[in-house]
Structure 1
């Protein structure tokens, strides 16, 4: 077997380079604190590490979405709670104002308080989040949702939309982060049912409409109806119901308030005792705005001739029903926000636990055992020194020295 000087040199330099590479690899691991820095270090572990890192990145994005949703829902729930309490206070002010012992000036003072409360309620409905976006404007977050229009008397109108902004909190799971203003303040179910009632100043009898609902959708005819009571000649009254064209749609002889009046798919229950000559009208309205209801309440107590009259008492009953319906609407909207907030918190806990598990698995796959690594480094360093010494000796030896 022939050995040349070049062959000895190449074998020695290859050994030195291999030991340098092994030493550099261990040194890189010590510097990074990771035992897998490239896929070549451990292909199987590298794939697992990549998958876990991707999952953690997705969880981090879910957590950001949850923080955003949590902030908006918490503020929304708080504002709706304040609006609910304020509306309850307005109801108490109204009941205090219709006390017959109050003077006109005292009643006007309460009306002024109610006007201030209405402005405060409007301010709550126009609340913004920490980013300056309107909470109750649907998708139109840059548009003020509620404002007075130019009518006389002015009414509060809604300029937002019914959009619900979703936040992705889990793969395939989106949670609503807002309550549109129309659902919170503008579309409370009518306290009477499907119709609102207009009472006349000429009313003499002590009565009110208790409910006015659609009873049969198949035969229902939407229209404005007028109820006229006339003397039946026996101490009671007869009732005739006319449509908007003054065509009779119902005639009730010897009207009995305990029996509902039915016509055109509509059922109306009247509570109390109408007098001959009394009349009222009703028109379709299945939803009411809490703002309009409070405005009607203020107008009622500002008119001393109406507040304690039979007309005023009947109007008061309708207003109270609609205020209660408005409070229930805000309470329902608040419940939606609160339930979404709880759901978001549950997903946050789930992601937190998942992040802990993923981080633990990552640690097992890539974290370096420093004690073992330092021992390995010392071993490779010793081997490198030995190989380097051999190379220096071989490099200085020539076969011609032995010829």
Structure 2
């Protein structure tokens, strides 16, 4: 077979270029410190490397979400703790007022203290985060959640939305506490109804509980309210008769005994203490109470001179104390949710940190260069390149005239 000069030249040139390419590839690896710089270097490893980088990027995003959630939850938990302390102090103030030796000026002083506590609690409920958004307005972060209306009551202008942050694949955590949940929706301490004690009360009693009693059937008459009238039964005892809003008698208890509940129309009412003849109170549905309304009610009772040291006033204050406890417990409940969420997302932070360590180790195995082996290979390629270049130079300059 004949080998032409051009063919020999091309073969030698190809050999030189291949050696140069191999040398340049090793130089690129040494420069980057990576043995896989393109998919062409190792297609299988390149796929694994890309997947690991994506997993690390996702973990980094989860950590950013966790940082955001941690900041907001920690701030909410702190503010709710402050609110709980304020509410606890209002209970102490109301307890002082129940003392029968308190004078009118002292009652007014306590009422003024309660007003200051109410303003402090309102300021906490209207707290903002570092971005100027309201903490307790649900999804309406630009709307002030709580304010006085024209009637002097505190109303809620936010919503019940919970903003969620994705902290792991398929895992979301609420990053806020809606204000209505924490401050407006405490369970009524008595159950399903609230009581209005009426003037002229002489008996020392309070309604301990008033709730629906399933499976009994409850059929209310709108508007639903009930009046409890206590009268002398003529034999040394007290008769109780309950009327609905249509003045229809619901039950008659000829000889009322406060140790037994009063059951009618699917409702069970329990009194603590004994009513006297002529006493009366009304009852209407109310399953949730606002801590703001509760404190306002305490202020109104203390500022009303007709209720000072009276059975009616003391009964109202006792009901208020129970609802203050309920309001504080509700704030504490939501504070606990925030605390549990903080604890939960910290565990996810640790999980993502561990995941990145594992991924980084796998990445190192797939793409990091063994510099000792690479330098050795580079030197071998350099020797081969020099040899091929020298041979190509000698062959390329050979002529027939050199042998004549």
TM-score after normalising by structure 2: 0.96
d(CA) in 1 for partners of 2:235 and 2:192?
Answer: 33
**Number of residue-to-residue matches in the alignment:** 401
SS in 2 for 1:162: coil
- Pairwise mapping of residues 130-145 of structure 1 onto structure 2 (< 5 A)? 130-145=130-145
Are 2:104 and 1:104 equivalent residues in the alignment?
Answer: yes
- State the match for 2:123 in structure 1: 123
Displacement of 1:48 in angstroms is 1.0
d(CA) in 1 for partners of 2:384 and 2:76?
Answer: 69
Cα deviations across residues 135-193 of structure 1 (Å, max 9, x unaligned)?
A: 21111122111111111xx1111111111122111111111112211111111110111
- State the match for 1:280 in structure 2: 281
Are 2:160 and 1:162 equivalent residues in the alignment?
Answer: yes
Unpaired runs of at least 5, structure 1: none
Cα deviations across residues 182-208 of structure 1 (Å, max 9, x unaligned)?
A: 111111110111100001121111111
- Pairwise mapping of residues 219-230 of structure 1 onto structure 2 (< 5 A)? 219-222=217-220, 223-230=224-231
- State the match for 2:256 in structure 1: 255
d(CA) in 1 for partners of 2:96 and 2:278?
Answer: 31
- Pairwise mapping of residues 348-387 of structure 1 onto structure 2 (< 5 A)? 348-387=349-388
SS in 1 for 2:283: strand
d(CA) in 2 for partners of 1:218 and 1:183?
Answer: 30
Are 2:207 and 1:209 equivalent residues in the alignment?
Answer: yes
d(CA) in 2 for partners of 1:155 and 1:316?
Answer: 19
- State the match for 1:11 in structure 2: 11
Displacement of 1:131 in angstroms is 2.1
d(CA) in 1 for partners of 2:286 and 2:43?
Answer: 70
Maintained 8 Å contact 2:216/2:265: no
Displacement of 1:104 in angstroms is 2.0
d(CA) in 2 for partners of 1:217 and 1:72?
Answer: 43
SS in 2 for 1:226: strand
SS in 1 for 2:211: strand
Cα deviations across residues 337-391 of structure 1 (Å, max 9, x unaligned)?
A: 1111111111111111011000010001101111221222222122222222222
- Pairwise mapping of residues 15-94 of structure 1 onto structure 2 (< 5 A)? 15-94=15-94
Maintained 8 Å contact 2:228/2:240: yes
Maintained 8 Å contact 1:162/1:181: yes
Displacement of 1:218 in angstroms is 4.8
Unpaired runs of at least 5, structure 2: none
Maintained 8 Å contact 1:5/1:398: no
d(CA) in 1 for partners of 2:103 and 2:249?
Answer: 43
- Pairwise mapping of residues 323-338 of structure 1 onto structure 2 (< 5 A)? 323-338=324-339
Displacement of 1:238 in angstroms is 0.9
d(CA) in 1 for partners of 2:183 and 2:215?
Answer: 27
Maintained 8 Å contact 1:166/1:175: yes
Cα deviations across residues 98-136 of structure 1 (Å, max 9, x unaligned)?
A: 333333222222211211111111111111222222221
Maintained 8 Å contact 1:72/1:177: yes
Q: Which moved more, 1:249-258 or 1:387-396?
A: 387-396
d(CA) in 2 for partners of 1:161 and 1:217?
Answer: 34
- State the match for 1:265 in structure 2: 266
Cα deviations across residues 232-277 of structure 1 (Å, max 9, x unaligned)?
A: 1222221111111111111110211111111111011112121111
- State the match for 1:235 in structure 2: 236
SS in 2 for 1:242: strand
d(CA) in 2 for partners of 1:308 and 1:211?
Answer: 23
d(CA) in 1 for partners of 2:69 and 2:311?
Answer: 50
TM-score after normalising by structure 1: 0.96
SS in 2 for 1:249: strand
SS in 1 for 2:208: strand
Cα deviations across residues 62-97 of structure 1 (Å, max 9, x unaligned)?
A: 111111111111111111111111100111111123
CA RMSD of the aligned region, Å? 1.4
Displacement of 1:4 in angstroms is 2.6
Cα deviations across residues 311-353 of structure 1 (Å, max 9, x unaligned)?
A: 0111011101100111111111111111111111111111110
d(CA) in 1 for partners of 2:400 and 2:13?
Answer: 18
- State the match for 1:182 in structure 2: 180
SS in 2 for 1:240: strand
d(CA) in 2 for partners of 1:243 and 1:305?
Answer: 28
